[in-house]
Amino acid sequence: MIYIIGYGAMAKAIAAGLKGYEKFAVVGRNEEKLKEFAKEFECEYFMLDGFDISNKTVLLTIKPYALQEVSMRIEGKADILISILAGKSLVELQKYIKASSYVRAMPNVAAKYKASTTAITGDERALKIAEEIFSKIGRVVVMQNDDEIDMATAIIGSGPAFLALIAEAFSDGGVYIGLKREKAIELTKGLFESFATIDENFNKIKDAVMSPKGTTAEGIYTLEEEGVRGEIIKAVKKTYEKSKNI
């Protein structure tokens, strides 16, 4: 049994992915929200105050700033604590919540569709269990340490928001040149689905599409001239730096 502390967007995405594959319960402060969560995902719920985590596998999905407050409301020592809190190191987790083993994980919202890419790090015994859990909602990548998890956060955690912005721009571009909105959206979704299935290095994909003096070459020139590549790299860098200072 996995005890999910928190009932926000990521908790729901993970619960949706685990439903039917893993038994879980939800823990939180607001009973009405707990009831809604429990009804939606057909699971038990428990109130946070005084909740005993002893010998349990606990999945922490709260906001990072709430770590200290939550730690003061629970009791006992967990068997395994898995945290998806951005910027909260294993050392910080050990400071606030007692457990025999610790894991940091960074899934993304695609967990809802069993298509998350989840980065994990922690001690060996707990990593195996965490890998089993998160493999049910997509791909798992084992990282070496806290810093690599913070780097992964900038790509797989925040990345869906960046890609949503890019996808919206593609859709808007389609409308700008004359497509109906629904067709532009359908084509953009198809583009992302197609790209995800191509098992090639990114530069090979670009080179395969970009012919001399062709339409793609014109578009690539425009993107490079506007510095799009550099701005995306900068966004990843800034996101990583922010994750170190939450």
Residue with tokens 């730096």: 241
pLDDT given for residue 244 in this prediction: 82
Residue 200's H or E segment, with its range, is none
pLDDT given for residue 143 in this prediction: 96
Task: Write down the pTM of the prediction.
Answer: 0.88
Mark the ranges of the chain whose per-residue pLDDT is less than 50: none
pLDDT given for residue 246 in this prediction: 74
Residue with tokens 């089993």: 132
- Rounded Cα gap, residues 60 and 106, in angstroms: 11
- Cβ-proximal residues to 194 (8 Å cutoff; 6+ apart), any chain: none
Comparing C-alpha atoms, which of 135, 108, 131, 120 is closest to residue 13?
Answer: 108
* DSSP-derived secondary structure letter, 153: I
pLDDT given for residue 20 in this prediction: 86
3-state SS, residue 152: helix
- Rounded Cα gap, residues 11 and 111, in angstroms: 10
pLDDT given for residue 21 in this prediction: 85
Q: Which two tokens stand for residue 103?
A: 């894991």
Domains of the chain (ranges, CATH numbers): 2-144 (3.40.50.720), 159-243 (1.10.3730.10)
pLDDT given for residue 214 in this prediction: 95
Q: What is the pLDDT of residues 10-69, one digit of tens each?
A: 999 999 999 888 899 999 999 999 999 999 999 999 999 999 999 999 999 999 999 999
Q: Strand pairing of 116-122 and 138-142?
A: parallel
DSSP string covering 70-127, please?
A: HHHH-BS-EEEEEE--TT--HHHHHHHS-EEEEEEEE--GGGGGT-EEEEEEE-HHHH
pLDDT given for residue 245 in this prediction: 78
- Rounded Cα gap, residues 133 and 135, in angstroms: 6
Q: Which two tokens stand for residue 15?
A: 């619960």
